[in-house]
A and B are shown apart, each in its own frame.
Chain A
């Protein structure tokens, strides 16, 4: 009889104790949070996180452009748009001034911060507003088959070589418009001009935020003149005045209609080389950004996760941010087009050969600068709007380069003064 009773008692005791052990490993199990991120995201995020922590996630995705109005509308009304939200680098100055997000300095460990170098872009006046999850910076994307078909064997390192390569591709009839360059009044037109300004060896502002782009000798002035020259020479599609960068990536580069994305996103390489999503699978490659001098430069546009102060589930939200930015998840999430922000994860992925154009990306990541070393100013969105509006008008022939630069400088001054 004892043979049966003792094991039975032991099993019963174990059955009673197991939930207690489980609760200890998943202290927040049973809670629910909402997460608002740009589309697309991996399909298994919610299930993986719930399996690991017991926290239920309602993952809501919107197009990147639609997230900001939703955030602003909810936050200005004192409600949480979600427990965890997207935070773009360009919003940090404004949102810090508004005091909408929970400082994360004390909840994220120092090792994580030191492993994620771009975290400093989200630190304003010592306050860490978000933890970067995607390491967006600019490289140049090329279609290596188009280059090979045109007889170009070496990737361009200078802007002159870039123009020569584009002209050769056009002359050989491989594509009509070899260069993809957004010229619509959208953020993509601004960021392309910022990159070209750096490529011409300059900066946008001095340390006191005085514009450095109004003189014809300045890099910013030359960058816009360069863009208009590409348009005039027929190297850029005139319809680019109405296209966002995402549209040029998806409907032109991924379709093999254009050969070079001047302001390329590393995260797009997976999508570009996926036969299900792209007609140029196996042909898309990242190269270092060509510059006037030949010494490559780039700047970072990382995106982070942040937690609104009015979130009712801050502990579970913090758990999600930690999990999503962990090394393991970052390595796994790379297949969805999100380049790890952790240096350790990036190196490990490259060593195992799992990173598309890994050597170029790692080399370019070492040259990444902050667009605003002083910290992103609160007036950045208004300035950027002034930039892309002026570029768009100049591309349509409504403004000269002089007038466009004056309009951008005026937009910067107006933005700063208010």
Chain B
């Protein structure tokens, strides 16, 4: 006992302050400092300020506790924007994932010029959200828009159809633009996972008489499940952050207004900065909580123990 105790202390000491530990600390310090300055401090400050009244039209910044949070319960417009946002999230995650996985599977079959196809597919993701939205605004134009033109060419009565005059079609129109922009990321993530599947697994399945659909369902999907979960996490966070598409296509129209537009209006139109901060904190937490479900699933699927 008397011999082993100093040895253990020496080991702990060498682990804590050895050259490797110092080097490790030095290597991670830039990212720790950067994260502290650009993420943790602003986030903490936002949470702290959301507990105060920050409004340039009113003197001082008194502590108001949870008043900014309790106000959300009586904010009728906010309720509508939350419903809109949740619809966007569900539609964007479902359609983004389903079509993203199918597109990745298709691209994975291409033997020649796959990189060119991938470059073309990535283009909407590489373009700024506002540019994508303006392009789609032209497509949705009631008079000379491409969509109405195509539908009219098939003899359908869509010549002057206004897609944003109906809430359902307006929400779908905004979601389509968002999925169009974000789906390439899902494709890239899932495609990378598909390309890492060993070819002999497909050969074994083929020898066992599996069809293409069976191979996709029984070999491909289980092995890219983790990648799909990562893509879904990403899609969820992005759908909660939907702003450009709704703003460019329909402005502040209540029928399509997501929570982020509401935050923008509360902050920069009504100058209620602390209320805007409280809303930002809540949407961040909700977004993280929902994403956590996927993350925990990924952890369960990929852990080595």
A residues with CB within 8 A of B: 68-69, 72-73, 75-76, 94, 97-98, 100, 184-186, 238-239, 241-242, 378-379, 381-382, 385, 388-389, 392-393, 395-398, 410, 415, 418
Q: Say whether B250 faces chain A, with CB atoms less than 8 Å apart.
A: yes
B contact patch SS: loop
Q: A98-B271, A385-B269, A418-B272 are in contact. Are A184 and B142 (CB under 8 A)?
A: no
Q: A238-B162, A241-B165 are in contact. Are A392 and B254 (CB under 8 A)?
A: yes
List B contacts of A184 (CB < 8 A). Answer: 251, 253
Q: Say whether B5 faces chain A, with CB atoms less than 8 Å apart.
A: no
Closest partner residue, chain A, to B249 (CB atom): A242
Chain B 156-174 residues near chain A, CB threshold 8 A: 160, 162, 164-167
Q: A72-B271, A185-B253 are in contact. Are A239 and B57 (CB under 8 A)?
A: no
Q: Say whether B76 faces chain A, with CB atoms less than 8 Å apart.
A: yes
**Bound CA–CA A241/B57 (angstroms):** 32
**Bound CA–CA A418/B58 (angstroms):** 10
Residue of B56, B164, B166, B269 near A76 (CB, 8 A) is: B56
Residue of B57, B143, B255 near A94 (CB, 8 A) is: B57
**Bound CA–CA A234/B166 (angstroms):** 18
Residue of B160, B250, B268 near A72 (CB, 8 A) is: B268
List B contacts of A73 (CB < 8 A). Answer: 268
Inter-subunit contact B143/A396 (CB<8 Å): no
List A contacts of B251 (CB < 8 A). Answer: 184-186, 242
List B contacts of A418 (CB < 8 A). Answer: 270, 272
Residue interface mask B128-171, A partner, CB < 8 A = 1: 00000000000000110000000000000000101011110000
Inter-subunit contact A393/B254 (CB<8 Å): yes
Residue interface mask B261-298, A partner, CB < 8 A = 1: 00001001111110000000000000000000000000
Contacts A/B (CB < 8 Å), 20 sampled: A68-B269, A75-B56, A76-B273, A98-B271, A184-B253, A185-B251, A185-B252, A185-B253, A186-B251, A186-B252, A238-B142, A241-B164, A242-B250, A379-B270, A381-B270, A385-B269, A389-B253, A395-B165, A398-B167, A415-B270
- Nearest Cβ distance between residue B174 and chain A, in whole angstroms? 12
Inter-subunit contact A393/B255 (CB<8 Å): yes
Interface centre among A393, A395, A415 (most CB of B within 10 A): A393
Interface centre among A75, A397, A398 (most CB of B within 10 A): A398
List B contacts of A382 (CB < 8 A). Answer: 269-270
- Nearest Cβ distance between residue A395 and chain B, in whole angstroms? 8
**Bound CA–CA A191/B167 (angstroms):** 25
Closest partner residue, chain A, to B266 (CB atom): A382
- Nearest Cβ distance between residue A379 and chain B, in whole angstroms? 8
Q: A184-B251, A185-B251 are in contact. Are A98 and B57 (CB under 8 A)?
A: yes
List B contacts of A69 (CB < 8 A). Answer: 268
**Bound CA–CA A398/B84 (angstroms):** 15
Interface size, B (range): 20 to 34
**Bound CA–CA A100/B272 (angstroms):** 16
Closest partner residue, chain B, to A184 (CB atom): B251
Residue interface mask B63-99, A partner, CB < 8 A = 1: 0000000000000110000000000000000000000
Inter-subunit contact A396/B166 (CB<8 Å): yes
Q: A73-B268, A98-B57, A238-B160 are in contact. Are A396 and B252 (CB under 8 A)?
A: no
List A contacts of B269 (CB < 8 A). Answer: 68, 381-382, 385
Residue of A98, A238, A410 near B56 (CB, 8 A) is: A98
Inter-subunit contact B165/A396 (CB<8 Å): yes
Question: What 7 pairs between A and B have smallest CB-CB spacing?
Answer: A97-B57, A98-B56, A239-B142, A185-B252, A185-B253, A382-B270, A69-B268
Inter-subunit contact B162/A389 (CB<8 Å): no
Closest partner residue, chain A, to B142 (CB atom): A239
Inter-subunit contact B252/A242 (CB<8 Å): no
Inter-subunit contact A238/B273 (CB<8 Å): no
Q: A94-B271, A242-B164 are in contact. Are A396 and B255 (CB under 8 A)?
A: yes
List A contacts of B254 (CB < 8 A). Answer: 185, 389, 392-393, 398
- Nearest Cβ distance between residue B18 and chain A, in whole angstroms? 45
Inter-subunit contact A239/B56 (CB<8 Å): no
- Nearest Cβ distance between residue A102 and chain B, in whole angstroms? 16
Closest partner residue, chain A, to B251 (CB atom): A185
Q: Beyond the given A73-B268, A241-B253, A388-B252, could you list 9 further A-B residue pairs with CB under 8 A, ordered by the A residue number? A: A68-B268, A94-B271, A97-B58, A98-B57, A98-B271, A241-B165, A393-B255, A396-B166, A418-B270
- Nearest Cβ distance between residue B68 and chain A, in whole angstroms? 11
**Bound CA–CA A72/B142 (angstroms):** 35
**Bound CA–CA A382/B273 (angstroms):** 14
List B contacts of A94 (CB < 8 A). Answer: 57, 271
- Nearest Cβ distance between residue B152 and chain A, in whole angstroms? 15
Interface centre among B58, B77, B272 (most CB of A within 10 A): B77
**Bound CA–CA A154/B207 (angstroms):** 88
